[in-house]
Amino acid sequence: MKILGKTATALLLIFIVLISTVPFLWVLLSSFKTNSEILSGVLGFPGGIHFINYVTAFKLAPLVTFYKNSIFIAVFGTILNLAVCSMAAYVAVRVDFKLKSLVTLMFSMGLIIPGAALIQPLYTTLNLTHLYNTRLGLILVYTALGMPTTFYVMVSYIKTLSYSLEEAAYIDGAGFVRTFMQIVMPLTRPALATAGVIQFLLCWNEFQLALTLTGATEKRTLPIALYYFKSAFASDYGAMFAATVVVVVPSIVIFILLQKQVISGLAAGSVKG
């Protein structure tokens, strides 16, 4: 009985490790193969490492532009999101005001509204405000999309901070803004890191709104690049594999380097759901 249980456990774990790694490893391996090697369906290792697919991928698609857009949007989408949410969270914890529950509700609204429902309205809004097909438009939308998680992470963290430091600052004559900037912000660094990683990944990976709120190649982000060049790469499998690797690797690297932040951020952010 015990052996049976152990075998079942081992098999399950081996299974999940395989399904989680093999698709990516196979694509990684294939990205170094020539097209004829890919088509002949040889499993094993490529006959030699060919970087040519990566060269072709960068030539066929303006991957550099997509990369720049993704980095720009993710960096500013994260900074803006953290700034907006930590300010609001600070007020929500430290200041008493009448409509507090309404404000809290507002910040968590995003959780129950599926982005897919908002495709057409957002498209209209951004068109009206001339933000359609701009990086700023996507940055604003992503900042709002990530508000529930960041707000919640910040609120729960600021609650754990003792008020005595801020009180001392006020007694010393520091104002509201200065206390927030110089006392509170530095203390919340761990929470900012946690929420920031989650928000960065959201911006980096988001697909449906990036697809519908941008129209021109020079404004698109990496996930959309894959969609558009799915057809452009149709005959060049090697380049398609290489492009996929180029899109996937940053997310995996960020996750591996910042695992602790990702995990604690997910654990904290999900509770609200």
Partner 1 sequence: MINRKKWAVLFLLPGILLFAFVFLGSLVVLFTTSFTDWAIGRKITFVGLKNYIDLFTGDKTFIESVKNTAIWIGLQSTFHVFTGTVVALILAKNKWYSSPVRAIFFIPNVISSAALGMLFLCIMNPQYGLVNTLVTKISGNTFSQNWFMDPKTAFLSVTMTWLPYAGLVTILVMAEMSSISEDIYEAAKIDGASLFQTDIYVVLPLMKNIIGTSVVLAATSMLQKLDIIMMTTQGGPGSKTMNMPMYIYKTVFTNNNYGLANAQGVLLIILGVLALRIIRGLFKMDKKED
> Mask: binding to partner 1, 221-260, rule CB under 8 A, as x and -?
-xxx-xx--x------x--xx--x--xx--xx-xxx--x-
- Interaction between residue 157 and partner 1 (CB under 8 A): no
User: How many residues make contact with partner 1 (CB under 8 A)?
Assistant: 95
- Interaction between residue 193 and partner 1 (CB under 8 A): no
Enumerate residues 172-191 that contact partner 1 by CB under 8 A: 175-177, 180
**Which DSSP string corresponds to 94-123?**
H---TTHHHHHHHHHGGGGS-GGGGHHHHH
Of 53-61, 71-79, 80-88, 183-191: span binding partner 1 (CB under 8 A): 80-88
Of 46-54, 115-123, 160-168, 187-195: span binding partner 1 (CB under 8 A): 115-123
Phi, psi of 114 (to 5 degrees): -70, 130
How near is the Cβ of 58 to partner 1 at its closest, in Å? 17
- Near partner 1 by CB under 8 A: residue from 113, 136, 181, 257: 113
Q: Indicate the DSSP class of residue 219.
A: G
> Mask: binding to partner 1, 40-79, rule CB under 8 A, as x and -?
-x-x------------------------------------
Helix 237-257 and helix 222-232, axial crossing angle in degrees, nearest 10:
160
Q: Put residue 173 in one of left, alpha, beta given phi > 0 → left and psi -120 to 50 → alpha.
A: left
> Mask: binding to partner 1, 116-155, rule CB under 8 A, as x and -?
xxxxxxxxxx--------------xx-xxx-x---x---x
Q: Dihedral of CA 204/77/211/148: which sign?
A: positive
Other Cβ atoms within 10 Å of 96 Cβ, number: 6
- Interaction between residue 168 and partner 1 (CB under 8 A): no
Q: Dihedral of CA 113/119/120/124: which sign?
A: positive
> Mask: binding to partner 1, 2-21, rule CB under 8 A, as x and -?
---x---x--xx--xx-xxx
- The answer to whether 37 and 47 are in contact (CB under 8 A) is yes
